[in-house]
Amino acid sequence: MSKTQLKEISQEIDIVCYHCGEICPSDAIHKDEKIFCCQGCKVVYEILNEKNLCTYYDLNESPGKTQQTLLLKNKYEYLDDAELTGKLLDFSDGKISTVTFFIPQMHCSSCIWLLENLFKIHHEILQSRVNFVEKKLSVSFQSNKISLRQVVELLAFIGYEPQISFEDVEKKSVENVNKKLYYKVGLAGFGFGNIMLLSFPEYLSIDVSSESLRTIFSYVIFLLSLPLLFYCGSEYFISAFKGLRKKFVNIDVPLSLGIVALFGKSAFEIFTHGSPGYMDSFAGLMFFLLLGKIFQNKTYDVLNFDRNYKSFFPISVTVKKNGNEKSIPLSQLKIGERIVVKNGELIPADAILFYGEGNIDYSFVTGESAPVGKVVGEMIYAGGRQIGSSIELEVLKDVSQSYLTQLWNNFQAKSGVEFSFTGIANSLSKYFTFAILLIAVLAFIYWIRIDANIAITAFITVLIVACPCALAMSTPFTLGNTLRIFGKNDFYVKNIRVLEDMAKVDTIVWDKTGTLTKSGETEIEFTGAILSSEENTLVKSLVRNSNHPLSKKIFTAIKESSLLKVENFIEIAGQGIQGEIAGQRIKIGGESFFALNKAKEGEETIYESIPIPVSSEVYLSINDVVKGKYKIQNKYRDEADLVIKQTQKKYDSYLLSGDNETEKSYLVNLFENEEKVFFRQSPLAKLNFIKKLQMGKQKILMLGDGLNDAGALAQSNVGISISEDILNFTPASDAILNAKMLKNLPTFLNFTAISLKIIYASFCISILYNFVGLYFAVQGLLSPLFSAILMPLSSISVVVFTTLTTTFFAKRKGLL
Amino acid sequence: MSVIVVLILFSMMVAGGFLVAFLWAVKSGQYDDKYTPSVRMLFDDKEQTILNEKTNKTNS
């Protein structure tokens, strides 16, 4: 049997659209000596040109978004609903309203420029301001003259369609934790600087002429240190207290112990001797600790790791009641109501198809690109997208009770695991705390027989000098730096705890569709007899009449360009198409389509033996002779096989696919073991599989993409979601990886292991410092000056060591 | 001695002023978006002035 490979039309012309940079078709539109790929791009250009906004094109080349996909006319009808818009607006006084949109399409300075010049296009828009990092645009407009819907439609028209989701409506007021940290660091820095200045006479042993001046200095220092203890240090005490109450010694316990010892000893010195004691060490410690916190808190504001189903669902649905269509907010949708879902809309709840022809694209849920046909009376799960004509559905379950949303919801509670009780530093701190307490007590016992005063000093100074600030800082600085390096390589990790988990992983579980294969990109392969050019033309002419995605794929895959007239065209939904061209009868369809006419086939029976029809295969017959079949094949990511081969050496690898077994032989070969490759896995089955592995004490890293992986991703120790466009859809996960960077996965895993080694090395450094300090402390000889030098020095050297080594190794691994 | 006390008071006030300025800057959101302003400042209103000139010319 011969094999004909039909590749998608190769790009022959290299003329790109002035507006969007897409390659123009041969019938491109010319205007003002510029070329546009479509009418839409030209119109946008004309508007910008008319309003004198062509700087847009000067700042960057072809900055626009292609207009080839047309906007649906009534898409934003729901924005006319006053109650809903009220929830979306940030502020409104009846005349002027302010609203903030999330616009993922923003990508360059031209975008910023145009979006901030909206007022030039529409004079009722007063001001618009971009936050590029968060991809947000806040617009204030005269709401009595222009409606929110018009604003959104204007944005959509110029190519910046805002993403408005159900979640926006139920806005959660997110307290900005970052701001609070900045306050604390500012305050600590202020205290640290001033206390150091005031301690200078002590450092230099300048003979202060009058004793009262020294006392005044000390009191000022005391006043300055109060906010540092109570405001800046509060979270350490709270965390330590929480840990102890749960009978767990976390890193904040020895830290708090050190802080309290430092502050208490110094306060005692101030009020008894009028000398500032160790206050400068105390302030420095607070400052460096908080600085470490800022470093580790680097977050990717624009990415949302904890999305729930709400961010993907529309905010309103069209309900049909007594023959009238009405748009209502999704939250008010009730069981039993009849909803209308139009072309391209998402099905918000599990429902039964009531009227119309369902052609559901579940790519959003499963990553599977071929749409599924549904007939009246069939159940449709939420999350699918209708393609084609509108359908009517009867809602079976609440939005939050639907099959997929429920699966997702189970995990929302789990994701908020207490932060402070995991991590390397925390697991070590138990031994550390007991060790220093033991040393302190021993020193006290030794000295108490000789001198009670020295005994107390020794006891407290041991606590001070052993304060594991360097220990507490090595993790945030090392992993914070790693996080940043990964971010530069399009691998966005939620937080540093995920990195620690990543280093412990011993098993990798892969999803197939959309993870190993490219989502939305497929190859059409024809197997069977070799088709002549005339025959190809016949097929192309026939499929042109059908809107089915498969037909369209076949259409683009056939290179012949001439088209013939089709007569007696019939399309049977979900089965196939047929027609007559120049007296020849051509049929394309699934097996069932041919089964209807099996008697006529007669001589051609070779394809009868093919088991289980697969929806991604269609047969072709010309004049009732079966010529072969078109098969849609997933395209594997370029280096997917390489990555699997590499990771397999070190990690136990499994594949869970929601798909059928068509590609079994290839995958079994790739994974080298038939028992590690699983097909037809439901979302729940994937989740249970992960649970089963975890019961065997395996630490799992899962890579997935669709909503169907959401449960499994959340359950696994580290869930990475892969996405071609990181701003688009990703299920809740611990990290988001740009699909292009999949080839770097082994490097990422390797680098996390290196990072952990760096942390251990820096622990050693900090312990060395501790030994030096302890040597003096147990003898009761630790002077405030010595401590003021030793403590910042140990902090700084740990910081410098960790950042330098991580950067060095990143460069060696080619990550920087 | 009293000179030094006055100096300390004064220096504290200056430093405190900077601290307040910093806290205010954080509060007013100047640390929220550290990227966009750097791009925004590079845009010039050249186009607008040319437009004005044009309209002036046509008016006269």
pLDDT digits (tens, 9 = 90+) for A235-251: 889 988 988 888 888 88
Nearest chain A residue to B41, by CA? A113
Distance CA A277, CA A783 (A): 9
**Does position A604 have pLDDT exceeding 60, yes or no?**
no
Cβ B51–A52 below 8 Å, yes or no? yes
Query: What type of residue is A500?
Result: E
Q: Which domain holds residue A223?
A: 178-297
What is the arithmetic mean of pLDDT over A465-481? 82
pLDDT score recorded for residue A609 = 31
Q: Which residues of A touch B36 (CB under 8 A)?
A: 112, 130-133
Q: Which residue has the higher pLDDT, A337 or A177?
A: A337
**Does position A554 have pLDDT exceeding 50, yes or no?**
yes
- pLDDT tens digits along A722-757: 887 766 666 778 888 888 888 899 999 999 999 999
- B 30-49: CB under 8 A from A: 31-36, 39-40, 42-43, 46-48
- pLDDT tens digits along A373-403: 778 888 888 878 787 778 888 888 887 777 6
Nearest chain B residue to A53, by CA? B47
Do residues A533 and A591 both lie within one domain? Answer: yes
Q: Which residues of A touch B27 (CB under 8 A)?
A: 179
Q: pLDDT band for position A12 (50/70/90)?
A: very low
Cβ B42–A112 below 8 Å, yes or no? no
**Does position A513 have pLDDT exceeding 80, yes or no?**
no
pLDDT score recorded for residue A700 = 92
Of B23, B36, B46, the CB nearest to A112: B36
Q: Which domain holds residue B18?
A: 2-59
Chain A residues contacting B, CB < 8 Å? Answer: 52-55, 59, 109, 112-113, 116, 130-134, 176, 178-179, 182-183, 186-187, 190, 193-194, 197-198, 209-210, 212-213, 216-217, 220
Q: Which residues of B touch A183 (CB under 8 A)?
A: 23, 26
What's chain A's average pLDDT?
79
Spell out the residues 6+ positions from residue B27 whose beta carbon is closer than 8 angstroms to its own.
Answer: A179
Half-sphere exposure of residue A542: CA atoms within 13 angstroms, side-chain side: 28
What is the arithmetic mean of pLDDT over A632-637? 75
pLDDT score recorded for residue A729 = 61
Q: Which residues of A touch B34 (CB under 8 A)?
A: 133
pLDDT score recorded for residue A408 = 61
Cβ A134–B26 below 8 Å, yes or no? no
The residue from A743, A778, A811 where one domain ends is A743
pLDDT score recorded for residue A209 = 63
Cβ B43–A113 below 8 Å, yes or no? yes
Do residues A164 and A15 both lie within one domain? Answer: no
pLDDT score recorded for residue A298 = 65
pLDDT score recorded for residue A14 = 60
**Does position A418 have pLDDT exceeding 60, yes or no?**
no
pLDDT score recorded for residue B14 = 94
pLDDT score recorded for residue A675 = 85
Q: How many domains does chain B have?
A: 1
Query: What type of residue is A741?
Result: M
Q: Which residue has the higher pLDDT, B10 or A299?
A: B10
With pLDDT > 90 as the criterion, what percentage of chain A qualifies?
12
The residue from A137, A169, A201 where one domain ends is A169
Nearest Cα of chain B lies from the Cα of A453 at a distance, in angstroms, of 34
Distance CA A458, CA A441 (A): 9
Using only C-alpha atoms, chain B has a radius of gyration, in whole angstroms, of 24
Distance CA A760, CA A757 (A): 5
Cβ A109–B39 below 8 Å, yes or no? yes
| Highest mean pLDDT (candidates A161-175, A475-489, A660-674, B12-26) | B12-26
Do residues A89 and A231 both lie within one domain? Answer: no
Do residues A157 and A191 both lie within one domain? Answer: no
Q: Which residues of A touch B40 (CB under 8 A)?
A: 112, 116, 130
Cβ A179–B33 below 8 Å, yes or no? no
pLDDT score recorded for residue A369 = 58
- The string of DSSP letters for A411-438 reads HHTTT---GGG-SHHHHHHHHHHHHHHH
**Does position A167 have pLDDT exceeding 70, yes or no?**
no
Do residues A617 and A650 both lie within one domain? Answer: no
Which of A108, A182, A199 to mutate: most B Cβ within 10 Å?
Answer: A182
A140 domain-assigned: yes
Q: Which residue has the higher pLDDT, A372 or A71?
A: A372
Nearest Cα of chain B lies from the Cα of A132 at a distance, in angstroms, of 5
**Does position A224 have pLDDT exceeding 80, yes or no?**
yes
Cβ(A57)–Cβ(A46) under 8 Å? no
Of B15, B16, B40, the CB nearest to A112: B40
Q: How many domains does chain A have?
A: 5
Cβ B36–A182 below 8 Å, yes or no? no
Q: What are phi and psi of A428, to 5 degrees?
A: -85, -25
Q: Which residues of B touch A55 (CB under 8 A)?
A: 43, 46-47
Pick from A198, A203, A288, A199: nearest CA to B12: A198
pLDDT score recorded for residue A67 = 65
Do residues A653 and A724 both lie within one domain? Answer: yes
Q: Which residue has the higher pLDDT, A598 or A433?
A: A433
With pLDDT > 70 as the criterion, what percentage of chain A qualifies?
84
Q: Which residues of A touch B11 (CB under 8 A)?
A: 194, 197
Nearest chain A residue to B50, by CA? A52
Which of B22, B28, B44, B52 to mutate: most A Cβ within 10 Å?
Answer: B22
Cβ A216–B8 below 8 Å, yes or no? yes
Of B1, B22, B48, the CB nearest to A186: B22
CA A190 to chain centre: 37
**Does position A419 have pLDDT exceeding 60, yes or no?**
no
Cβ(A344)–Cβ(A387) under 8 Å? yes
Nearest Cα of chain B lies from the Cα of A348 at a distance, in angstroms, of 34
Q: Which residues of A touch B33 (CB under 8 A)?
A: 131-134
Distance CA A786, CA A768 (A): 16
Torsion sign (Cα): A79, A81, A86, A91:
positive
Cβ(A180)–Cβ(A232) under 8 Å? no
- pLDDT tens digits along B5-52: 888 889 999 999 999 999 999 988 888 777 888 888 887 665 544 444
pLDDT score recorded for residue A607 = 35
Q: What are phi and psi of A9, to 5 degrees?
A: -50, 125
CATH number at residue A683: 3.40.50.1000
Do residues A732 and A646 both lie within one domain? Answer: yes
Q: Hey, is A587 helix, strand or coil?
A: strand
B51 close contact with A: CB closer than 8 A: yes
**Does position B59 have pLDDT exceeding 60, yes or no?**
no
Q: Which residue has the higher pLDDT, A261 or A2?
A: A261
B20 close contact with A: CB closer than 8 A: no
Lowest mean pLDDT among A134-138, A304-308, B56-60: B56-60
Lowest mean pLDDT among A9-18, A222-231, A358-367, A688-697: A9-18
pLDDT score recorded for residue A522 = 66
Of B18, B26, B51, the CB nearest to A179: B26
**Does position A5 have pLDDT exceeding 60, yes or no?**
no
Cβ B51–A132 below 8 Å, yes or no? no
Q: pLDDT band for position A509 (50/70/90)?
A: very high
Left (φ > 0), alpha (ψ -120 to 50) or beta: where does A356 sit? left
Spell out the residues 6+ positions from residue A73 whose beta carbon is closer than 8 angstroms to its own.
Answer: none
Q: Which residue has the higher pLDDT, B41 or A77?
A: B41
Query: What type of residue is A220?
Result: V
Nearest chain B residue to A195, by CA? B12
- pLDDT tens digits along A120-142: 888 888 888 888 877 888 899 98
Of A182, A186, A213, the CB nearest to B1: A213
The residue from A743, A765, A790 where one domain ends is A743
B53 close contact with A: CB closer than 8 A: no
Of B15, B32, B33, the CB nearest to A190: B15
Cβ B35–A132 below 8 Å, yes or no? yes
Do residues A705 and A651 both lie within one domain? Answer: yes
Q: Which residues of B touch A190 (CB under 8 A)?
A: 15-16, 18-19
Do residues A671 and A716 both lie within one domain? Answer: yes
What is the arithmetic mean of pLDDT over A582-594? 78
Of B5, B15, B47, the CB nearest to A55: B47
Do residues A292 and A187 both lie within one domain? Answer: yes
B13 close contact with A: CB closer than 8 A: no
**What count of CB pairs under 8 Å joins A to B?**
69
Order of strands, sheet of A735-738, starting from the edge strand that comes earlier in the sequence: A491-493, A735-738, A718-723, A700-704, A507-511, A652-656, A677-678
A201 domain-assigned: yes
A185 domain-assigned: yes
**Does position A327 have pLDDT exceeding 50, yes or no?**
yes
CATH number at residue A585: 3.40.1110.10
Nearest Cα of chain B lies from the Cα of A112 at a distance, in angstroms, of 8
Lowest mean pLDDT among A98-112, A166-180, A395-409: A166-180
Distance CA A395, CA A351 (A): 4
Cβ B47–A220 below 8 Å, yes or no? no
Q: Which residues of B touch A220 (CB under 8 A)?
A: 8, 12
Pick from A146, A158, A133, A153: nearest CA to A49: A158
Do residues A619 and A562 both lie within one domain? Answer: yes
Nearest Cα of chain B lies from the Cα of A242 at a distance, in angstroms, of 29
Of A132, A182, A183, the CB nearest to B39: A132
Nearest Cα of chain A lies from the Cα of B58 at a distance, in angstroms, of 16
Q: pLDDT band for position A635 (50/70/90)?
A: confident
pLDDT score recorded for residue A232 = 92
Which of A55, A106, A290 to mutate: most B Cβ within 10 Å?
Answer: A55
Do residues A85 and A111 both lie within one domain? Answer: yes
**Does position A279 have pLDDT exceeding 80, yes or no?**
yes
**Does position A483 have pLDDT exceeding 70, yes or no?**
yes
Lowest mean pLDDT among A180-184, A327-331, A809-813, B51-55: B51-55
CA-CA distances (angstroms) from residue A71 to A165, A208, A325, A395? 17, 79, 21, 27
A303 domain-assigned: no
pLDDT score recorded for residue A409 = 60
Pick from A10, A33, A13: nearest CA to A25: A13
Q: Using alpha carbons only, what angle is made at residue B21 by residues B19 and B23, rounded to the nearest 5 degrees?
A: 70
Task: Scan for tokens 């680097």, then name that residue.
Answer: A298
Q: pLDDT band for position A430 (50/70/90)?
A: confident
